[in-house]
Amino acid sequence: MAKGLDCGTSFYIAATEDTIKKQRNAFLTVDGEVNQVKRMLKRQGIPFVEKANKVHIVGQHAFNYAQIFSTAELRRPMKSGLLNPTEKDSLPVLNAIIGELLGDAKDNETCVYCIPSKPIDVKRETSYHEDVLRTIIEQYGYNVKKIEEAVAIGYEGLVDTQLTGVAISMGAGMCNIAVMYQGMTALSFSVSRGGDWVDENVSMDTGVSKAKVTNIKETSTTLDLSSATYQNIYEEDTDEANVLIAIRSYYGALINYLLTNLKVQFEGVENVPNFPEAVPIVIGGGTALVKGFLDVFNEQFDQNEFPIPVSEIVLIEDAHTAVARGCLSEAQLIEEDDEE
């Protein structure tokens, strides 16, 4: 059975034809005598990973602990879309997460995982990140292939326009962009700003911890970035309103940064196709899930400044799992091709 794996900074998401599994990509190291800690965690049903006499709580439980205990340091195996070079304990955690999401392969199954495009605003290569993930997935017996994250979004959102248009994946660690023409990628790149960048800046501006800002962004029922709601909240002048206003302004800054860099990259690349007709911009990824996101995007978007005529700006259905589903489509087609 073909599998698609979205290896995100915040979430790892696996998709098969009948199941979607999500795992928060975070962990927290528990101090204390190893066997005692393990017994305690087992009793409470809290998932953990043990390696080299260290016990790490993994996933949503780690995230929840970090909300409650402000002193607890939530650790992230990935940062800015790539493996976190400062996090020495991340590989056993990633290994366990991937193992749980994919399981062992049966009969030469194919797994397509996503990789980021080359970032334009940080000096980092993506090859080590790609190799580590490939090696881990191969350990579980899969026939492994990779596709660019934004291309996976294109496979979900641009099929009705012959795979022509702009695909944007807005993740926690970075945003990936691909300009596609007839299924081919004319231009792809990434910027190392995403949902985490919004959270960090909101936290610094408002004095609320980053973990709490992330939690508000993901769970708040009152968070709505659309302009009408924004005006109402502004009048309330509460602490929550301050956070929501800051979130809105940093979302605007993030989208502006993205569109400005897309324009600059587009102008600097040779042999970019001319689009005779207007093409859509399709957006996926967890950072685009917040209510009113498209309102902010439309506010920042200026057709006169943008190098391509745009017909519409669309948020893909179930944007959080769009990359994993794009990877799944590719894996299914590879398996069908192999069978023939």
Partner 1 sequence: MVREFLFCSLLLWQIGLIIYILLNRFYGKEQKQNTKILSTPKVVEVELPTRKKEISHVDIEVKKQINTQKPTTSTVKSDEVIKGKVKTQKNKLKKLRGL
Residues that bind partner 1 (CB under 8 A): 15-24, 38, 41-42, 47-52, 58-60, 91-93, 95-97, 99-101, 128, 131-132, 135-136, 139, 155-156, 159-160, 162-163, 183, 317-318, 325-326, 328-329, 332-333, 336-337
Residues in the chain, total:
340
Contacts of 324 (CB under 8 A, 6+ apart): 4, 5, 6, 13, 14, 15, 20, 152
| Minimum distance of partner 1 from residue 153's CB (angstroms) | 11
* Nearer of residues 136 and 216 to partner 1, judged by Cβ: 136
β-sheet bridge partners, residue 188: 178
Label the pairing between strands 165-170 and 175-181: antiparallel
- Would you say 22 or 193 has its CB closer to partner 1? 22
Distance CA 153, CA 303 (A): 22
Nearest-approach distance from CB 234 to partner 1, in angstroms:
34
Indicate the burial class of 270 (C-beta count within 10 angstroms; 0-12, 13-18, 19 or more): exposed
**Residue 58 CB contacts under 8 Å (≥ 6 apart), including other chains:** 23, 26, 27, 47, 48, 49, 93, 96, 97
CA nearest neighbour of 116 among 145, 141, 151: 151
Q: Which is nearer to partner 1, 95 or 176 (CB)?
A: 95
**What's the min distance (Å) between Cβ of 158 and partner 1?**
9
- The least distance separating partner 1 from the CB of residue 60, rounded to whole angstroms, comes to 4
Say which amino acid occupies 197: W
- Cα Rg of the chain, angstroms: 20
Closest CB to partner 1 among residues 36, 135: 135
Shorter beta-carbon distance to partner 1: residue 60 or 311: 60
Nearer to partner 1, 32 or 236 (CB): 32
| DSSP bridge partners of 167 | 178, 282
CA atoms within 13 A on the CB side of 41: 23
CB 23 to partner 1: min, Å: 5
Tell me the closest approach of the beta carbon of residue 28 to partner 1, in angstroms: 13
Please, which residue, 133 or 246, has the CB nearer to partner 1?
A: 133
The least distance separating partner 1 from the CB of residue 275, rounded to whole angstroms, comes to: 17
CB 150 within 8 A of CB 176: yes
Q: Following DSSP, what letter does each residue of 146-178 receive, concatenated?
A: EEEHHHHHHHHHSGGGTT-EEEEEE-SS-EEEE
With respect to partner 1, which residue has the nearer C-beta, 17 or 302?
A: 17
> Comparing C-alpha atoms, which of 23, 75, 70 is closest to residue 54?
75
**Nearest CB to partner 1, comparing residues 79 and 129:** 129
Question: Which of 218, 147, 173 has the alpha carbon at shortest distance from 5?
Answer: 147
| Distance in Å, CB of 127 to partner 1, minimum | 9
Q: Closest distance between partner 1 and the C-beta of residue 220, in Å?
A: 19
For residue 153, give the nearest of 13, 298, 292, 320 by alpha carbon. Answer: 320
